[in-house]
Structure 1
Amino acid sequence: MKFLIFLGTTRDSTPPKPSRLGLRVAKACLDCLNIQFSDHEIELIDALDYPLESVFKPYFSYANSKAPAALSSLAEKIESADGFIMVSPEYNHSMSPALSNLLNHFGSSLFSYKPSAIVTYSAGQWGGMRAAIGMRTFLSELGCLSVSAMIHIPKAQEVLTEDGAIEAHEDQRAWFNYFGRTFNQLDWWAQATKNQRDKIDPHNTVSDFKRDPSQRNAP
């Protein structure tokens, strides 16, 4: 099985401090997944590693020209993945614009029929849970429905060290058990959808919308 962790923050400056708090969260998720599923392939996709053009042009619009190498490489990784972990801070009660911008460069045909897990965090007491509610709708439209359990980390700067370790070592089991509920759901659904995709290609059963929006219209 192959899972991609999408880190949806590109803010690499202060104030506020600490910068790139989400990187700590992503590293903690990576550590937990590697312990829990040692035979799986887990890769971190950092939005900061994908500088995008100022004029929005999605990957699928490069039909008659060569897409940027970074987008092509990421498209291949998304297509070959079995599930996704979406890590986001909260901006105005919504998901990170850096994350939505990166994901919006790709059509749902790459993400669809695979599950996702939502992980949010904040420096305050709510842990980004308001952003997580909106992410459910976004991810369902992208085709990678989120599992029911979500992960919220309030005051993440107090919970996690800079390298993503649990600040109080004795709390690691409790936190990883909390993470594990979500990741176990993700793994179950990823196994189930992979088995079904191997039997029946969903893109042949349910045609993708690739020409124009009228394909979605009722008769």
Structure 2
Amino acid sequence: MSNQILVFYGSYRSDRMGIRLAEFVVERLRRRGEVVELIDAKAVNLPILDRMYKEFPPGAAPEQLHRLAGKIRDADGFVFVTGEYNWGIQPGLKNLTDHFLEEWFWRPAAIASYSAGRFSGARAAIAWHGTLSEMGMVVVSSTIAVGPIAQTLAADGAPLGAGGEALERAFPRFADDLMWWVEAAKMQRQRKKPPY
């Protein structure tokens, strides 16, 4: 049985490199038989957070916010693909994420980070771990860190060189960990209603 997985990506830059990693994750999860959708913060184009989805009166939220809330609620798990901006997280992805709260509850999330340099977005991944946990997600222990991204993934998302080979070797464990938690959370939600 396939799982519904949303892959979130948040760069607004004109020459976005991280989209390569987002597309790699989407493609590899689909190969495993999962139903996967890429949610690109730039394409969704939400305004800077003024009012969360839940703060709108019923039926008054902007349509793209309402559609995305439904997709998040219907998903079994999430992957957050994040770049590292000055030791921190991407503002576009954070802004998109902050528009929701209860919609995220009781589902697992995995983090795939990247950067142009050798730290591979690891500092952003650490920051995201606490943020996603606070928002009610179980963050899996397996991560992917890619850097330098331009030397690891081609423009079409194909792995390059030693870095690409390392990414290919790391991905199965990353996906296995996420899917184990997806299945566990799905069974638990069916067995017992969440406490709130």
Query: Is the pair's TM-score, using the shorter chain for normalization, greater than 0.5?
Result: yes
Q: How far apart are residue 167 of structure 1 and its match?
A: 2.3
Report deviation, 1:177.
2.3
What do residues 68-125 of structure 1 show as CA deviations (whole Å, max 9, x unaligned)?
A: 1111110000000000000010112111111110000011x21111100001000011
AA aligned to 1:92 is N
Match of 1:192 in 2: 184
Question: Per residue, is there more strand in 1 or in 2?
Answer: 2
CA distance in 1: counterparts of 2:9 and 2:185, whole angstroms? 24
Alpha-carbon distance in 2 for matches of 1:156, 1:172: 9
* Paired residues of 2:108 and 2:178 also in contact (CA < 8 A): yes
1-structure distance, mates of 2:39, 2:48: 20
Gaps of 5+ in 2: none
Map 1:6-25; keep pairs closer than 5 Å. 6-12=8-14, 19-25=15-21
> Which residue of 1 is the match for residue 87 of structure 2?
93
Aligned to 1:34: 30
Secondary structure of the 1:87 match is: strand
TM-score for the superposition, normalised by structure 1? 0.84
2:84 is paired with a residue whose SS is coil
Which stretch of structure 1 is more off in the superposition, 64-73 or 180-189?
64-73
What is the alpha-carbon distance in structure 2 between the residues aligned to residue 6 and residue 157 of structure 1?
20
Q: Is the 8 A contact 1:118 1:132 kept in 2?
A: yes
**Residues of 1 paired with 2:28 and 2:9: CA distance?**
16
Alignment of 1:155 onto 2:148: yes
After superposition, where does 1:1-219 map in structure 2 within 5 Å?
1-12=3-14, 19-35=15-31, 37-38=32-33, 40-54=34-48, 56-63=50-57, 66-107=60-101, 109-168=102-161, 174-202=166-194, 206-207=195-196
| Gaps in structure 1 of 5+ consecutive residues | 13-18, 208-219
Which is worse superposed, 60-69 or 130-139?
Answer: 60-69
Figure out how many residues of one structure are paired with residues of the other and give that number: 194
- After TM superposition, the score normalised by the length of structure 2 is 0.93
Distance 2:63 2:43 in 1: 12
Q: Distance in 2 between matches of 1:6 and 1:113?
A: 17
C-alpha contact (below 8 Å) 1:136/1:145 kept by paired residues: no
> Once superposed, what is the RMSD of the aligned Cα atoms?
1.6
1:143 aligned partner, one-letter code: G
Q: Which one-letter code corresponds to 2:35 in the other structure?
A: E
Could you say if the C-alpha distance between residues 50 and 195 of structure 1 is closer, same or farther in structure 2, counting changes exceeding 3 Å?
A: same
1:132 CA drift (Å): 0.8
